[in-house]
Structures are given as C-alpha cells and as structure tokens.
Amino acid sequence: MSILDNFTAISWQMIVMWAIGAILIYLAIAKEMEPALLLPMGFGAILVNLPFSGALMQTYAGTLEEGVIDLLYNVGIANELFPLLLFIGIGAMIDFGPLLSNPKMLLFGAAAQFGIFFTLGMAVLLGFDIRNAASIAIIGAADGPTSIFVANYYMSKYVGAIIVAAYSYMALVPIVQPPVIKMITTKKERLIRMPYKPASVSKSVRILFPIVVTVIAGIAAPRSVALVGFLMFGNLIRECGVLAALSQTAQNALANLITLLLGLSVAAKMRADLFVNRETIMILALGLVAFIFDTVGGVMFAKFLNLFSKNKINPMIGAAGISAFPMSARVVHKMGQDEDKQNFLLMHAVGANVSGQIASVIAGGMILSLIAR
C-alpha cells in the first residue's frame, strides 16, 4: 500500500472528525472544559480517523491485527470496568457532609432527574428505539460514568456521541443553566435568603451513610448496585479515617489514570462512519434538552415546595440537584451573589448537588430495571 493510497483513502467524514477532535482539544486547553477527558477524547478522535489507522482493528495482508484503542475499549468500557473504577475516585472526592446535615436537599437531587425521563419520551418520539432512547436520555444524569454504563449496558451504537454530549454539557453547565433558571424564576425568588444551620454529623453517620445507601439502592434497583456500590465504596474509603493514603490515591492517581484511559478508549466509537450522521446531531440536541429539563425539574420542585413551606427555599437551589458536581452548585451560588452580595447559597447548593450525584445513579438503575436489555 503506497502513501498515495493512504491520501486517497481520506474521506470528508474523516476531516469532519479531525475538526471535532481539534475543537475538543481547543475546549480542553483554551477553555479548560473537562480537560482531563476532552483532551484525550479529542486526540483519540483524530487518531482513529486517520486512513487505515493502526490504532483500530485492521486487516493487513489477510491478517487481523487488533488496534490498541479497540483493545482498551474492550477491556475497559465494553465490560463497564472503567466507569466503575472512576466511581471509586469520584466517591472518594465527595464530601456528603452538607447533605447529611441538611438531608431534605436530597429531594432536589431526585427532582432534577426529570430531564432524563422527559428526554426518554422525546427520543422515542423522534424515532429511536427504547434502548437507544434510554441510552440517550441518561445524558441527563449529568454524570459521565453513569452515561457510559447505561449506554454500554444497552449496547448502544451511539455510545461515542452520548459520551461526547454528556461531558460537553457537563462542562457547559455555567452556560446552559443560568438562562433557564432566569427564565423560570422571578427576581424576588432569586433574592430569597436561606440561613445555613447545619445539624452536627457524627463520624459514625458519615461511615454508615455509604453502606446504608448501597443497601437501599441495591434492593430498590439491583442492576444499579455496582454503580452505587463503587461510588459509595470510594466514599467509605474517604470517611473511614484509616485509609487516608488510599483515599488520596483514589481521588488523584486512580481517577486521573482512569479518566485518561476512558477518554482514549471512547475514541473507538468516534470513527467517522459511526459518528458523522444525522443521529449524532439529534443526540447532541436531546442531550441539551435533558440538561434543560433537569434544571426545570429541580427549580419547579423547589417552587412547588414553597407553596407549603414557611421557610422559603430559593428555587435556584433546585437547579443544583443536577449531578454535574461541583459546577452546578457554583453556578447557583454565583447567581445568588449576582442578585444579592449577602446571599450565601453555596452550602445549600452543594447539599443539593451531591444528592444529585446519588439520585442520578439511582435514576440510571431505575432505567436499567424498567427497560430490558
């Protein structure tokens, strides 16, 4: 095979993928949007879309040769290993203290999963079969590992587009959420102050919490037990107090390494022939719908609670129930400060935000339980 053959094998779809790869690398470096993931994904998108790329499985002179990206995909994503290992790191990073000291924030985490189920209906309406619709809807979990886990469980051929959409919108939360929140709240509502009076939380509660959540979620949605379990195991490592070094390793080395491998592995599904099509554009649009309706669900639920509550809740807190941690909590806090410099919503928002992390995994489990593979 000559160099000229390689040149002539370049298709316009490959060039589109190079451009997408370049955009992802640009967003990672120049805008610092989820750089640990978008950079390897962007580079991987270019790597697998070179003609006769040796990074993918190829037949050379009648012999089948396995490419490293396919190999990584098969050992890390096809069997759901990477997303689960990443959850140990994420669990070790999360301090559930603000939630434990104000547990009613859990409700906002549940309400802000509305976008998942709304998008499920929209994806079916647009002609996706129920399994692919479920895989697309889970973009609304605003949680990369859960999206990968569910899309892979249903063996969705759109897994590449789903992961790109999930991580891109998570990075774009500061752009997506504020206009939606402003559209459905009044200035008076955004000015509501919420005094922060946390209940004290003992170490025993912090240790028991991840175990209890695993048992409850595991009984309610057994298929999600691996997801919840690994997330909570990471948190148990953090809270037990005797595994400080392991906790640091999980939060840093393990999470970084798995994110790097995950980003490169996903590129296996970013081949031009799988990615450059009408469905990818529809998936990106549906992902945006999911994030918007997650936000709407959380905010409207807070407004609903205010109908019965003496101590009014700033409805913006509901928007932090989306799982994109800690971006969403920061967005809500900043919006509160923009309206009133003396309004400190951060701790409430963090409580809602970490509850979103739990609720999104439970929502993923519900999807797995309700829709057969």
Partner 1 sequence: MFDVQGLVSTFPIMVKGMAGVFSVIIVIWISIVLMIKIFK
Interface residue list for partner 1 (CB under 8 A): 99-100, 103-104, 106-107, 109-111, 113-114, 116-118, 120-122, 124-127, 130, 133, 199-202, 204-205, 208-209, 212-213, 216-217, 220-221, 355, 358-359, 362-363, 366-367, 369-371
Quick one: 125 or 245, whose CB is closer to partner 1?
125
Q: Minimum Å distance from CB 353 to partner 1?
A: 14
Q: Minimum Å distance from CB 258 to partner 1?
A: 27
Partners of 59 in the β-ladder: 64
Quick one: 54 or 121, whose CB is closer to partner 1?
121
Quick one: 84 or 122, whose CB is closer to partner 1?
122
Quick one: 220 or 246, whose CB is closer to partner 1?
220
Quick one: 118 or 158, whose CB is closer to partner 1?
118
Quick one: 162 or 213, whose CB is closer to partner 1?
213
Q: Minimum Å distance from CB 22 to partner 1?
A: 35
Q: Minimum Å distance from CB 124 to partner 1?
A: 4
Quick one: 258 or 358, whose CB is closer to partner 1?
358
- Output the CA torsion 290→295→298→304 (10° steps): -110
CB distance 177 to 331 below 8 Å = yes
Token representation of residue 242: 């005797």
Distance CA 295, CA 184 (A): 10
Q: Minimum Å distance from CB 307 to partner 1?
A: 17
CA atoms within 13 A on the CB side of 65: 13
Q: Minimum Å distance from CB 35 to partner 1?
A: 31
Q: Minimum Å distance from CB 292 to partner 1?
A: 16
Quick one: 130 or 246, whose CB is closer to partner 1?
130
Q: Minimum Å distance from CB 204 to partner 1?
A: 4
Token representation of residue 132: 């692919």
